[in-house]
Chains A and B, each alone.
Chain A
């Protein structure tokens, strides 16, 4: 535990999250995964966008970047391409990642850039007090869905896999040990990794939808989550109303910044007579 604590900016605590919120559990799980790997604090960069989830980096003792809504992955792409030696982690939420940031999400996955993305999915916009998100299940209530949303929600894991992510896992704030395990593997994957961490928002999602207290919401996760390994042996009937957790995808593919660095080496060998200063430019197209 002391190892994990040393990764926090303890003077920034307590955090701003509501009583019962699951974001602390997810942040704690990430820090424990980092502690298990013994990552060098000076070589980890944590980037976030806007929303409840995105306040997490402020509490972590790394170089931390709290960016604009939806754009964390684009900022993180600049950092990782510039310094491939750094471990870059993005902490984002369901609205930040899948609505306003959806385009950056699929393109980061497509590039297979070595960024570990933790999506804290509470199925709602918490910071702006309870509007429905692209991850709000159909029929559920939000302040902008007073009669229940008629929109379909994303399957985030399948979206990530289809777009090219090479490590994809799902867990919940109830299953913290599993979260730590999959986050550790996500951090080790040399490529774009996504961990969807389902968390409870008792203040807005819970209250608006009469889901009860934080404990009741956690029990809801416990009752409906099925490990993907167990699910493989279950009939569709038995899986009705359930969702899978655990490691959903893990495949090694060429990583973007490594590929670019290799390209740079190749080009430099070709132009190794360059001495610095203003370069000759052979041609330019119109």
Chain B
């Protein structure tokens, strides 16, 4: 296998980004994400790409939005404190519809927290961290191979929908090493934003109101258009008319909602006939899978549902898998974030048991198995 390599999650995210066409990276050092910046600094010049270490994370996301407007595929990577600093400009990328990718390698928060330890506490911040309703897509890899695959997917979604896409990994996924068989160059589906062909009459924000995506011209190509974080009409210029604001915000939100079935991505094992459904994502799902397999070996009808797209949440699929379940268990490295979404989705179904862990250590499969067995093990 010529393309088989042993690598970390952070390395796989970077290689995925490069395979997807990354050619501009701006970032600020922060544990446990820094390997991504280091590898980008090394690799991008080799392909004529650009790397810059900015003065902070606010500047990093600003720089990648600026570079994306010139037609590049851009990314930054960070962790909790830096992700908090980026929030305002995530909203800016959302309202201006500039494609960017952000890798957030989660660590224990709040504040400086535990920089080198594992957590999954940014689930809600990834969705709602910036102010106001806004479009965003969040993907959560469950192993090193998926770091590669979902980073490629993140770029494709960012380009197709013109939205900020967040790849939500964590300290364990980011630093764990696994063998990954990289796809053959050229075998991947790579998206590129749709561009207009003629500057005459170009309206930068003209799109079907039912979730349409406007054509995106690159700066410096003669289109001479205006981009602003103020609410704007189809021409891109600010407007404070209430109907313009309403129409625009609904289109932005609809854009992601409408694409949900095509973006939806998940993993399941033994979920189709389970009585006890475990719902987990990222590193918690690794321990969960082991627990589910051990339970099955003991004759317990347990199953795992692991969303890879977590925002928008694959609610239809979860509802189907949870339909026959008598119990639903949600292990996560926080005190109940994805569980809130699970409770909402299956509100008339089985009771949801939250299993939160916040000491910075990965779940042991036995901890989850014990709950599956009703504490009887």
Contact = CB atoms under 8 A, between A and B. Distances in A.
A244 B224 CA distance: 37
Contact of B183 (A41, A58, A278, A284): A278
Given A63-B224, A82-B66, A77 B39 contact: no
Contacts of A260: 50, 52
Interface in A34-92: 41-43, 45, 47, 57-58, 61-68, 71, 74-79, 81-83, 85-86
A103 B58 CA distance: 10
B375 interface: no
A86 B43 contact: no
Contacts of B65: 67, 75, 78
Contacts of B69: 63, 65, 79
Contacts of A274: 46-47
Nearest to A12: B237
Contacts of A276: 185
A271 interface: yes
Interface size, A (range) = 35 or more
B357 interface: no
A268 B230 CA distance: 41
B11 interface: yes
Contact of A65 (B48, B184, B227): B227
Interface in B40-71: 42-43, 45-50, 52, 54-56, 58-60, 62-70
Given A67-B92, A284-B8, A47 B225 contact: no
Nearest to B54: A74
B201 interface: no
* Residue from A63, A77, A82, A103 with most neighbouring chain B CB atoms (10 Å): A82
Interface size, B (range) = 35 or more
B55 A103 contact: yes
B19 A281 contact: no
A286 to B, nearest CB: 7
Contacts of B175: 286
A263 interface: yes
Nearest to A84: B50
Interface in A1-50: 12, 41-43, 45, 47
* Residue from A267, A271, A274 with most neighbouring chain B CB atoms (10 Å): A267
A117 to B, nearest CB: 15
A232 interface: no
A159 interface: no
A74 B85 CA distance: 14
A45 B71 CA distance: 14
Given A66-B229, A77-B62, A104-B59, 19 more contacts: A58-B237, A61-B224, A64-B225, A66-B226, A74-B60, A77-B54, A77-B59, A78-B64, A79-B66, A82-B72, A260-B50, A264-B45, A264-B49, A276-B185, A277-B19, A278-B183, A278-B185, A281-B39, A281-B43
Q: Which 7 A-B pairs have the closest CB atoms?
A: A277-B185, A78-B66, A78-B63, A74-B62, A74-B59, A66-B228, A75-B66
